[in-house]
Amino acid sequence: MNMLQTVSVVLRRELILAMRRRGDVLTVLFFFVIVASLFPLGVGPDPKLLSLMGGGVVWVSALLAAMLSLGRMFASDYADGTLEQLILTPTPPVIWITGKILAHWLVSGVPLILMAPILGVQFGLTSDALLVLVISLLLGTPVLSLIGAIGAALTLGLRGGGVLVSLLVLPLYIPVLIFGAGAVDGSMSGLGAEAHLSLLGGILVLAFISTPWAVSAALRISIE
Amino acid sequence: MINGLNWYKFASPATFYTLAGRMIPWFYSLAALLCVAGLYIAFFLAPTDFQQSEAYRIIFIHVPAAWMSMFIYIVMAAWAAIGLAFNTRLSFMMASALAPTGAMLTFVSLWTGALWGKPTWGAWWVWDARLTSELILFFLYLGFMALQAAIDDPRRADRAGALIALVGVVNVPIIYFSVRWWNTLHQGASISMTKAPSMAAIMLEGMLVMALAVWMYAIAAALSRVRSIILERERNSQWVAQMMEAEA
């Protein structure tokens, strides 16, 4: 099998597994909506304040939701031994890891992107800002899956792994948050979002070419 | 020369344990001497700043701590990389011995920064690029230590910690250049290699002496911590048993 075939086989498998357990996907989506809805209740319903915060709130909620779903990425394969078999195959791990991360993004990132404009409207974002929000999430959420995969791989099978992942991964998510929310802010204040979006794109490229290697190393450490 | 001085000999925890034991008192006394000298310069020789009056004197602790917090992270990541590349146990032990000191200095630099910020900026904390990235550095140290603490198998703990240390090292240049990339409240670098120093020479000297003191302290603290780690890891080995017998 060549590289693309391997990626698509892994992708199909992951998507089928996700469709068989739709609850997991929906839980993450509802978590995203609930966290974002807590902010107006916490800080008060002032429309001006909410439209200022909107981009940042949606982004922070996306970060937390993405983190919540990280445990799924390798845990069940690790528990039933599939992961060891995958590592023993002659295919370089980087390839099927890329497939797995892609699947994770499709299952947990894309629903967030589809849901985000609705939340944005509730926070009173302008239509330009909504578009920028969607673009920034399109560029940013794959990075969350890529970086998160490192944390997920390192904490495989550890007690309290879920909390540990947040400590390991959230600090590394911060640049994505800054530029993602910054893009929405820039568009709201009329400064333009291009600079922030370009930086997000740069981070995405960098993460895409480097993190699968780190994940592969992390999996080898965890499996030994 | 390099062959004559057998480096591999000191990569063995048993030899290094004795070597570290002999070096620690020297580094601690150097740290104490430099600290006394630095504080003398800081409090008695350095003049009052015309802009910030006496409040500026915190830089004699704040700047050295901030420098070392970043530098220790880089050294830690370097030890981690050496450990992953050459599979040397001692390098991993050095990395985990450095982390608590690095975290402590990061905390000191954040804390002294807050103490200085209140009279000067009028706020304990602002969400400025440098402060925020230094706070992230603190979280990176905590993450490294938490990951190592969560893994029972020392081999896996070493390697997993090393990997996360290497991944986190991208943050250090962000902190270092944050004052130049973002034009925020934190003042620019106090010292530049290319420009003449913008502060009185005696202030600069005081700061450098204090930086050296913190450096010596960090080495001494890391060495004594690595000795404890060696003892803990090698508690079932023969040389530890013999040493304990000899001491008893």
d(CA A56, CA A58): 6
pLDDT of residue A103: 93
Residue A154 touches chain B, beta carbons under 8 Å: yes
- Whether the CB-CB separation of A141 and A62 falls below 8 Å is answered with yes
Phi, psi torsion values for A156, nearest 5 degrees: -55, 125
With cut-offs at 50, 70 and 90, classify the pLDDT of residue B117: confident
Are B106 and B141 within 8 A, CB to CB?
Answer: yes
Structure confidence by residue, pLDDT tens digits, B90-111:
899 999 999 999 999 999 999 9
> Chain B within 8 Å of A206 (Cβ-Cβ)?
no
Tell me the pLDDT of chain B averaged across its residues: 84
Q: Looking at the predicted structure, is the pLDDT value of residue A122 above 60? A: yes
Q: Which residue has the tokens 């830690």?
A: B76
pLDDT at residue B34 tops 70: yes
Q: What is the pLDDT of residues A40-70, one digit of tens each?
A: 899 888 888 888 888 899 999 999 999 888 9
The CA-based dihedral angle spanning residues A194, A200, A202, A205, taken in that order and rounded to the nearest 10 degrees: -140
Strand partners, B199: none
Q: Quick check: A160 contacting B, CB < 8 Å? A: yes
Rg (Cα) of chain A, in Å, rounded? Answer: 18
Token pair belonging to A7: 């990626």
**pLDDT in the model for residue A186:** 87
CB pair distance less than 8 Å for B160 and A175: no
Q: What is the mean pLDDT of chain A?
A: 89
The ipTM is 0.83
Between chains, do B156 and A161 touch, taking CB under 8 Å as contact? Answer: no
- End-to-end CA distance of chain B: give it in Å, rounded: 39
Letter for the amino acid at B99?
A
Mean pLDDT in residue range A3-22? 87
Which of A160, A175, A221 lies at the smallest CB-CB distance from B156?
A221
Assess contact for B124 and B117: CB atoms under 8 A.
yes
Q: Which residues contact B4 (CB under 8 A, 6 or more apart)?
A: none
Domain extents for chain A? Answer: 3-223
CA dist A65 and B118 (Å) reads 36
A221 → closest Cβ in B140, B160, B174 = B160
pLDDT for the residue numbered A104: 93
pLDDT for the residue numbered B1: 41
pLDDT digits over B134-185, tens only? 888 999 999 999 999 988 888 899 999 999 999 988 878 877 776 666 655 5
Is the Cβ of A218 closer than 8 Å to some Cβ of chain B? Answer: yes
Q: Note the pLDDT of residue B197.
A: 53
Q: Which residue of chain B has the CA closest to A224?
A: B156
Residues A131/A192, Cβ–Cβ less than 8 Å: no
Instruction: Please indicate if any CB of chain B lies within 8 Å of the CB of A162.
Output: no
Note the pLDDT tens digit of each residue in A128-149: 889 999 999 999 999 999 999 9
CB distance from A223 to chain B under 8 Å?
no
Tokens 């997000």 belong to A200
Long-range CB contact pairs, A1-9, < 8 A, 24+: A1/A91, A3/A95, A6/A91, A6/A95, A6/A96, A6/A99, A7/A95, A7/A96, A7/A98, A7/A99, A7/A102, A8/A99, A9/A99
Helices B89-121 and B13-40 cross at an angle (nearest 10°) of 20
Task: Count how many residues are written for chain B.
Answer: 248
pLDDT tens-place string over residues B179-230: 666 655 566 555 555 555 556 778 888 889 999 999 999 999 999 999 999 9
SS3 B83: helix
On whether the CB atoms of residues B133 and A180 are closer than 8 A, the answer is no
* Segment A92-119, tens digit of pLDDT: 889 999 999 999 999 999 999 999 999 9
* pLDDT tens readout for residues A168-203: 998 889 889 888 988 988 888 878 788 889 999 999
Q: Annotate chain A with DSSP letters as a single string.
A: --HHHHHHHHHHHHHHHHHHTHHHHHHHHHHHHHHHHHHHHHH---HHHHHHHHHHHHHHHHHHHHHHTTTHHHHHHHHTTHHHHHHHSSS-HHHHHHHHHHHHIIIIIHHHHHHHHHHHHHTT--HHHHHHHHHHHHHHHHHHHHHHHHHHHHTTT-TTHHHHHHHHHHHHHHHHHHHHHHHHHHHHTTS-SHHHHHHHHHHHHHHHHHHHHHHHHHHHHHH-
Pick A171's closest partner by Cβ from B84, B136, B163: B136
Total residue length of chain A: 224
Disruptive mutation site among B151, B155, B178 for chain A (greatest number of A CBs within 10 Å): B151
Enumerate the residues of chain A whose CB falls inside 8 A of the CB of residue B166. Answer: 214
CA A207 to chain centre: 12
- Residues in B closer than 8 angstroms to A222, CB to CB, are 156, 160
Question: Average pLDDT in the A60-86 region?
Answer: 89
> Which DSSP helix (H) or strand (E) runs through B232?
helix B201-233
Distance CA B89, CA B76 (A): 14
- Among the partner-chain residues A164, A174, A218, the one whose CB lies closest to the CB of B150 is A164
End-to-end Cα separation, chain A, in angstroms? 27
- Rounded-to-integer distance, Cα B71 and Cα B33, Å: 22
